[in-house]
Amino acid sequence: MDWQADWGLRFRMFLTMFMLFALYIVFAGVIAAYMGSFLVFAVLFAGMSLVQYYYSDTLTLKSMGARTISADEYPQLHASVERLSQQADLPKPKVAVVDSDVPNAFATGRNQKNAAVCVTTGLLTTLDREELDGVIAHELAHVKNRDMMVMTIASFLSTIAFMIVRWGAFFGGGHGRGRQGGGGGIVVAILVSLVVWIISYLLIRALSRYREYAADRGAASITGNPSALASALMKISGRMDQVPKNDMREEAEMNAFFIIPIKSGVVGQLFSTHPPTEKRIEQLRQLEREIASP
């Protein structure tokens, strides 16, 4: 099913990405001017990041304790992923399961041909078939929108900026003395990196929230049943509040992967990678009203 494009959402995503691009151009100029020797490190880091990105599906699944499963083990899950992949016009991704009571799901992979969709055992026992289809479709929408690639690219220079701030003492000790003002130049580079990291941190999380909205719309388009995903979000959100604090909370830094984030304190709530569940449900209800209207 197709709905009228949400141009407001598209504009917000475009504006956020444009602001990130402009910020990174300024950041790259400052680093080149004040920390020329750091460029070698940046190139090496870029190489390592490319390797990590290339194997992102395998690395992410391992870090989450996920296990790739066969169709013989979970026939209904495989059948749902295959059917929904066809409806989304996507190659069928790898299917994986995490043995956890926490109801959640995520997608990973560098492109549409090298992707994986993972669900927890808690999700399988919490949702009915239509709700599970909605969640799987949401993750397939992330794959179709190439969100893993977009967020990896968006986060790259932000990570560089954070590393400069974190290792400022190392660079200030003489390893990073540039051509413009020696140690003073290093201080400037560190301060600029701090500003870049703070601003990019906020922009990347805003971009992540917008892409969650887009994935919800994509899931509704794939299934033609927005209310099923809305029901799934309500169930998952309710169960998450009952989960023991030590169960998967150590994976809170992986929140960008999950369909609903694992709460990690006040800071995690203020700078969430996901929009409020209530607003996501309201958007889905609006799509349902569009279906019902003549």
The residues annotated with a catalytic role in the active site are 139
Residue 111: C-alpha distances to residues 13, 116, 140, 152 (Å): 20, 10, 11, 12
Cα–Cα dist 152/253, whole Å: 14
105 phi and psi angles, rounded to 5 deg: -155, 155
Tell me which H or E stretch contains 96: strand 94-98
Q: How far apart are the C-alpha atoms of 91 and 93, rounded to whole Å?
A: 6
Rounded CA separation 137/142 (Å): 9
Cα angle 57, 58, 60 (rounded to 5 degrees) comes to 65
Q: CA 193 to CA 159: how far, in whole Å?
A: 10
Q: Note whether 141 and 88 are within 8 A (CB).
A: yes
List for the chain the helix, strand, coil content (%; round to 5): 70, 10, 25
Burial of residue 21, with CB atoms counted within 10 A of its CB: 0-12 exposed, 13-18 middle, 19 or more buried: exposed
Structural tokens at position 111: 């492109």
- Which residues in 85-105 are b (16+ Cβ under 10 Å) and which e? bebbebeebbbbbbebbbbbb
Contact 93, 66 (CB under 8 A): no
Q: Which amino acid is at 229?
A: L
